Amino acid sequence: MLIDERPGSYRLAGAAVEATQLTSAAIDATIEGRWHLCAIDRGTLKRLMKRSDAPGLRNFGLWLALLIASGTAGALAWGSWWALPAFFVYGTLYCSSDARWHDCAHGTPFRSRWLNEGFYHLASFMALREAYLWRWSHSRHHTHTMIPGRDPEIQVPRPANLPRIALDFLHLIDGPSELRKIALHALGIVTADARDLVPMRDRGKMIWSSRAYLAVIGAVAAWSWAIGSLLPMMYVLLPRFYGAWHHQLCSLTQHAGLAENVRDHRLNTRTVEMSAVHRFLYLNMNYHLEHHMFPMVPFHALAKLHEAIKDQLPRSCTGFIDAYREIIPVLIRQARDPGYFLCRELPPGSAGA
């Protein structure tokens, strides 16, 4: 555990007057050479990067089938207590979309572009992450991972806001925030962060995409109102909230409590071993360090990538309990001591950032 220098601000550079000094063109110009990369044979990496439709179709196909099955069970059980477990499963599966838009944004689950793009837009809508804004946001996240003022996706800005983290297990903070952005963009009002992230050529698409999201949500809400039942909303929009727990449980492990302002994913990103069910829902993003270092590797090859470079990485957490045993105390401390963070121990002989 270390105390570091406090960052200037988490607001994005284009929108902030007090943005951190780490926003200069010089950093952008040298960013490529400054991120640590583990050594891996080009031939091995090329094999791991190989694209195929089959693994993606199996995973996404099963996901859609389970969504339909649990959704049907929920409809049949509506009005009885059996609807609760059915919609618990449906909501959890629905929020697996938060892992799926992400992978499709990288273009890696499928070799066929139309499959990546089709699922990208579907999953982006389900996850309430407007597709054009979040594609650019996530690109920035990979360039400036955990660099305050540049990374728009730092999940736990310091000082850690513990109630906010807890409320996001039901998406009660980020959900309304995303809905607000979608509503503003649908009205043609481009938010400051979006101006910083999205180039002019994509702003019109972002606005029309936001309008489409609102149109679908509005239509389902109108249907619910017309029939005097919440049931239609249980399939669209609401599951993003009542089913959010699993993705929050997984995604909080990615960077929480780790270092900021270091250009070494081994120090600011965490890999956690998870069971097959969790990995299915989370699309193997438990290998998050490996994903950040080599984002070209598709979800189905991340375990092999982990095996290939694990000798050069800090130890992985052995599961959720192990991960949260290190995350929770750090976050509690960060709530009152924003300079505090967990310093990962690098393997002997491995250069630091």
Partner 1 sequence: MTAAADPGKNALSQSLHWIAVCAAEDIEVEDVRRFDHAGATYALYRTPTGYYASAGYCTHEQAHLADGLVLGEIIECPRHQGRFHIPSGKAGSAPVCLDLKTYPVRLDRGMVYIGLDAG
Q: Which residues bind partner 1 (CB under 8 A)?
A: 28-29, 31-32, 46, 49, 51, 106-108, 111, 113, 132, 135-136, 139, 142-143, 199, 201-202, 294-296
Comparison of 113 and 180: residue with beta carbon closer to partner 1: 113
Nearer to partner 1, 287 or 294 (CB): 294
Task: State in angstroms the smallest separation of the CB of 263 from partner 1.
Answer: 13
Nearer to partner 1, 272 or 293 (CB): 293
Closest approach of Cβ 47 to partner 1, in Å?
11
**Residue whose pair of structure tokens reads 């890696």 in the numeric block:** 108
Specify which residues 340 forms β-bridges with: 3
Question: Least distance from C-beta 331 to partner 1, angstroms?
Answer: 29
CB of 53 to partner 1, least distance (A): 12
Judged by beta carbon, residue 210 or residue 224, the one nearer partner 1 is: 210
Question: By C-beta, is 34 or 58 nearer to partner 1?
Answer: 34
Shortest distance (Å) from residue 120 CB to partner 1: 10
> Closer to partner 1 at the Cβ: 93 or 123?
123
Q: How far is the CB of 206 from partner 1 (least distance, A)?
A: 11
In the complex, the smallest distance separating the C-beta of residue 62 from partner 1, rounded to whole angstroms, is 25
Closest by Cα among 242, 227, 281, 271 to 102:
281
When the beta carbons of 51 and 211 are compared against partner 1, the nearer one is 51
How crowded is the C-beta side of 94, counted as CA atoms within 13 Å?
28
Closest CB to partner 1 among residues 5, 32: 32
Residue 136 C-beta: closest distance to partner 1, Å: 6
**Which residue from 132, 225, 223, 147 is spatially nearest to 181, judged by alpha carbons?**
132
Give the long-range contacts of residues 44-47, CB within 8 A, separation 24 or more: 44/308, 45/294, 45/297
Least distance (Å) between residue 223 CB and partner 1: 34
When the beta carbons of 165 and 309 are compared against partner 1, the nearer one is 309
